[in-house]
């Protein structure tokens, strides 16, 4: 049975009450919340023997498959600010960033667990909208919430663990890139980082995305609602088209760096080939001095970055064209002694101001 | 190869440096930390195709088994205070509380993922000791760290997801208790809650546990270092001795309440049968007025609470005796209309002051 998410405010002030104060978490209680979540979320999979409501979830592993497991934590004031994040989009993002990791292995997502640290005075309506976002993504990708934990916290904290499946012979690792392989990337680069930059320059006022400038709206939306390239990952995996793959969460350079490290390889990237959106091309020069840098080092695009043996490159491009999906060759894997270099059209090397995101180090 | 955990301070101030300041996380960086963790933690299982260092872990599910998955979040100032928690014990506890959930399903733990939100100025030595604790437990139970996430946070935050296996016919749920079943509990009740109470009454000064009073030391240790009843859970599961089981994290009454709810049953508990440690009997009267209440409602004992069909009760007690493990009958499952009642020896009902822990509600 589909649950009715349109039925907002079921925990709002009791009828007849004159209070206009929104209902807070402390009035619902921990077990009220868990029971509410359990009632809202569908189990979409007959392989779940037990989901929420026992000490551990019990799932029957798919036959002839490996399990893929990933986890990501989102913390208030580190990953998002409550004052300029809407809960629906944050709910979507909490799942999307994990989906992206399963996409990067070429897998199919199935189950997730959700831990939340919640401030006592959080309006219950915030939680309702957050779960509305979670459920939109769960529905789109046919995911089941099988467990979680809820706790009190000063800063809102969200941890998602996502479990998927893959066929052993199809899984794509970070290791495996070889000299001569083409480097390709899905979608476009830099939109999410530019969207965040724009938002910050407007002091977080996300209403600018509704002010009629469709470029601004597109860039800001990519920051708030990254897409997960599950379809692209599956297309690549089932046709055995990639020698290595990763999702771009910390920026092109940082994440290509991970592939190179695990594969013991070097790489050339052609700056002029980096796929940029029209919105990026038009807006980036207004917000940063070296307008390519966010496409090189900006995080959170959640596009797939992969290497493909040269003889498979044409087939890959053809399959993506047929499927209406976007992918762009941007460079080549070379000998590890070469390192990682970004090249301009005239052959000169380009050095961006910063290389990627490190949570514990200030950007240089 | 066993890694050398005794080699403390490898990130301490460089030789020759005059600085006595401990090295902080910001000097190590996110990727320095991940690489350090990866170097320290052993993979103990040939079913791991890929652990830390890819977008998702890749594990081959065990044949003819179900997967058990559980997650728990620990947040500074909600679950622990940095000023009176030593990191080694916290590392052990972060795993133990999840192990307890796998124990309560009758399963065998295998893999875990660890997300950490870390304050920038945390001394690196703290992280070293925390992981030392994590590894002690991982070694004891043969667990492999297969993934995780690290992030900046104001308040230290730890989320563990633990994956185990069980045989489909052996897994024990919360549902399944039937009228006439005996209710039993492993170990003793109330030590952890009394330990915390004592600690609070000494303003968190944990040195009191080293002041020569072995009762105080035992009670406080149970708060900091709960044991996981994996052996007990396996013994019960493989002999098909329980109709329902749960671990006691929120208190006997609250967790028995979960079994009753899922099983649609009622229960009688005989107060005089509750297993108390000698230390509890001696110290509880000094710290609380109704000295049985912490055994009834205190959380974090992480003992197993189970129901067993009457005809299997003797076999269960015999097996536990043979194995040198402690288990005690404390009551009986009855008709759901009876509810949950605590009975004194004279047949009168006893009502404790509070029923259990709710993160979002103040104790009554």
pLDDT in tens, A272-320: 999 999 999 999 999 988 889 999 999 899 999 999 999 999 999 999 9
- Specify the pLDDT at position B12: 47
Q: List the single residue in A56, A71, A152 with the smallest CB-CB distance to B78.
A: A152
**Beta carbons of A105 and A251 less than 8 angstroms apart:** no
Using the Cβ of A28 and the Cβ atoms of chain B, whether some distance falls under 8 Å is answered with yes
**Of B335, B198, B358, B191, the residue nearest B268 (C-alpha):** B335
Task: Kindly tell me if the per-residue pLDDT of A90 is higher than 90.
Answer: yes
Q: What are phi and psi of B280, to 5 degrees?
A: -60, -45
Task: Kindly tell me if the per-residue pLDDT of B61 is higher than 70.
Answer: yes
Return the higher-pLDDT residue of B320 and B221.
Answer: B320
**Of A118, A236, A242, the residue nearest A174 (C-alpha):** A242
Q: How would residue B352 be classed by pLDDT, with cut points 50, 70 and 90?
A: confident
**Beta carbons of A56 and B47 less than 8 angstroms apart:** no
Element (H, E) at A214: helix A214-224
Contacts of B79 in chain A (CB under 8 A): 151
Give the mutation candidate from A56, A117, A123 for the B interface (greatest B CB count, under 10 A): A56
pTM: 0.91
| Per-residue pLDDT tens over the stretch B317-334 | 999 999 999 999 999 999
- Specify the pLDDT at position B357: 67
- Specify the pLDDT at position B198: 92
Return the higher-pLDDT residue of B9 and A63.
Answer: A63
- Specify the pLDDT at position A8: 37
b (16+ CB within 10 A) / e for A188-214: bbbbbbbbbbbbeebeeebebbeeebe
- For B160, the token pair is 């563990």
- For A276, the token pair is 């940029």
Report CA torsion sign: A326, A329, A333, A338.
negative
Domain assignments of chain B as residue spans, ordered by start = 25-166, 182-350
* DSSP classification of residue A289: S
CA distances from residue B297 to B36, B201, B282, B357 in whole angstroms, order as listed: 41, 19, 19, 8
A117 vs B73: CB contact, 8 Å cut-off?
Answer: yes
Task: Kindly tell me if the per-residue pLDDT of B364 is higher than 90.
Answer: no
**Beta carbons of A104 and A304 less than 8 angstroms apart:** yes
Q: How would residue B8 be classed by pLDDT, with cut points 50, 70 and 90?
A: very low
**Beta carbons of A143 and A230 less than 8 angstroms apart:** no
Mean pLDDT score, A7-18: 46
Task: Kindly tell me if the per-residue pLDDT of A14 is higher than 50.
Answer: no
The reply to whether B182-350 shares the fold of B25-166 is no
Helix axes B87-104, B124-141, angle to 10 degrees: 30
- Specify the pLDDT at position B2: 32
**Beta carbons of A106 and A166 less than 8 angstroms apart:** yes
Helix axes A191-201, A214-224, angle to 10 degrees: 110
Residue A282: is it exposed, middle or buried by C-beta count within 10 angstroms (0-12/13-18/19+)?
middle
- Specify the pLDDT at position A15: 47
Contacts of B64 in chain A (CB under 8 A): none
- Specify the pLDDT at position A111: 96
* DSSP classification of residue A82: G
Bridge partners for A162 per DSSP: A70, A112
- For B203, the token pair is 């303003």
Contacts of B361 in chain A (CB under 8 A): 26, 29-30
| Per-residue pLDDT tens over the stretch B252-310 | 999 999 999 999 999 999 999 999 999 999 999 999 888 899 999 998 999 999 999 99
**Beta carbons of A106 and A171 less than 8 angstroms apart:** yes
**Count of H-run helices and E-run strands, chain B:** 11, 13
Provide the CB-side half-sphere exposure for B238 (13 A, CA). 10
Q: What are phi and psi of B40, to 5 degrees?
A: -85, -30
Bridge partners for A341 per DSSP: A268
Q: Three-class SS of residue A300?
A: coil
C-alpha to C-alpha distance for A138 and A128, rounded to whole angstroms: 15
Q: How would residue A47 be classed by pLDDT, with cut points 50, 70 and 90?
A: confident
**Of A97, A156, A102, the residue nearest A130 (C-alpha):** A156
Mean pLDDT score, A198-222: 85
Task: Report the residue of chain A nearest B76, measured CA to CA.
Answer: A153
Mean pLDDT score, A87-97: 95
- For B71, the token pair is 């997650």
C-alpha to C-alpha distance for A124 and A25, rounded to whole angstroms: 5
* Matching residue, tokens 């006439």: B180
Mean pLDDT score, B114-122: 93
Element (H, E) at A293: helix A293-297
- Specify the pLDDT at position A6: 36
* Matching residue, tokens 């509750």: B274
Task: Report the residue of chain A nearest B116, measured CA to CA.
Answer: A73
Q: How would residue A186 be classed by pLDDT, with cut points 50, 70 and 90?
A: very high
Report CA torsion sign: A188, A192, A195, A200.
negative
**Percent of chain B beyond pLDDT 90?**
70
**Of A322, A330, A316, A333, the residue nearest A236 (C-alpha):** A316
Q: How would residue A7 be classed by pLDDT, with cut points 50, 70 and 90?
A: very low
C-alpha to C-alpha distance for A124 and A27, rounded to whole angstroms: 9
C-alpha to C-alpha distance for B306 and B242, rounded to whole angstroms: 6
* Matching residue, tokens 């690489």: B35
- Specify the pLDDT at position A84: 78
CATH topology for the A182-350 domain: Phosphoribosyl-aminoimidazole Synthetase; Chain A, domain 2 (3.90.650)
| Per-residue pLDDT tens over the stretch A215-266 | 999 999 999 888 899 999 999 999 999 999 999 999 999 999 999 999 999 9
Return the higher-pLDDT residue of A84 and B342.
Answer: B342
Q: List the single residue in A54, A150, A358 with the smallest CB-CB distance to B359.
A: A150
Task: Kindly tell me if the per-residue pLDDT of A48 is higher than 90.
Answer: no
For B178-277, where are the alpha helices, taking DSSP H only?
Answer: 191-201, 214-224, 230-238, 252-263
Bridge partners for B115 per DSSP: B149, B159
C-alpha to C-alpha distance for A296 and A331, rounded to whole angstroms: 13
- Specify the pLDDT at position A34: 87
- Count of other CB atoms within 10 angstroms of residue B113: 25
B159 vs A154: CB contact, 8 Å cut-off?
Answer: no
Mean pLDDT score, A152-165: 96
CATH topology for the A25-166 domain: 60s Ribosomal Protein L30; Chain: A; (3.30.1330)
- For A160, the token pair is 């998602």
Between A71-85, A265-279, A305-319, B207-221, the lowest mean confidence (pLDDT) is in B207-221
């Amino acid at each position: 049975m589909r649950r009715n998410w349109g039925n907002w405010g079921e925990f709002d002030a009791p009828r007849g009450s004159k209070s206009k104060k929104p209902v807070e978490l402390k009035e619902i209680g921990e077990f009220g919340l868990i029971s509410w979540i359990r009632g809202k979320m569908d189990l979409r999979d007959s392989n779940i023997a037990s989901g929420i409501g026992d000490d551990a979830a019990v799932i029957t592993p798919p036959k002839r498959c490996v399990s893929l497991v990933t986890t990501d934590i989102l913390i208030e004031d580190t990953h998002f600010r409550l004052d300029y994040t809407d809960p629906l989009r944050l709910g979507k993002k909490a799942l999307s960033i994990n989906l992206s990791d399963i996409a990067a292995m070429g897998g199919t997502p199935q189950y997730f667990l959700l831990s939340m640290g919640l401030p006592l005075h959080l309006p219950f309506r915030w939680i309702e909208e957050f779960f509305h976002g979670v459920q939109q993504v769960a529905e789109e990708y046919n995911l089941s919430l099988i467990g979680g934990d809820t706790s009190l916290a000063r800063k809102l904290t969200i941890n998602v663990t996502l479990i998927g499946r893959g066929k052993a012979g199809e899984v794509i690792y970070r290791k495996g890139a070889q000299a001569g392989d083409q480097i390709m990337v899905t979608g476009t680069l830099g939109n999410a980082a530019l969207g965040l930059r724009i938002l910050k320059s407007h002091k977080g006022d996300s209403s600018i995305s509704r002010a009629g400038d469709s470029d601004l709206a597109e860039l800001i939306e990519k920051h708030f609602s990254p897409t997960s390239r599950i379809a692209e990952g599956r297309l690549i995996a089932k046709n055995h088209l990639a020698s290595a793959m990763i999702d771009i969460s910390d920026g092109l350079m940082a994440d290509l760096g991970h592939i190179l490290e695990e594969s013991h390889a070097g790489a050339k990237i052609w700056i002029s080939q980096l796929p940029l959106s029209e919105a990026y091309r038009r807006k980036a020069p207004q917000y940063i001095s070296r307008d390519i840098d966010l496409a090189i080092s900006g995080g959170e695009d959640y596009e797939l970055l992969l290497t493909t043996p040269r003889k498979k490159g044409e087939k890959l491009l053809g399959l993506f064209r047929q499927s209406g999906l976007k992918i762009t060759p941007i460079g080549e894997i070379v000998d590890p002694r070469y390192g990682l270099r970004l090249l301009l059209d005239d052959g000169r090397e380009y050095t961006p101001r910063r290389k990627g995101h490190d949570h514990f180090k200030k950007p240089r």
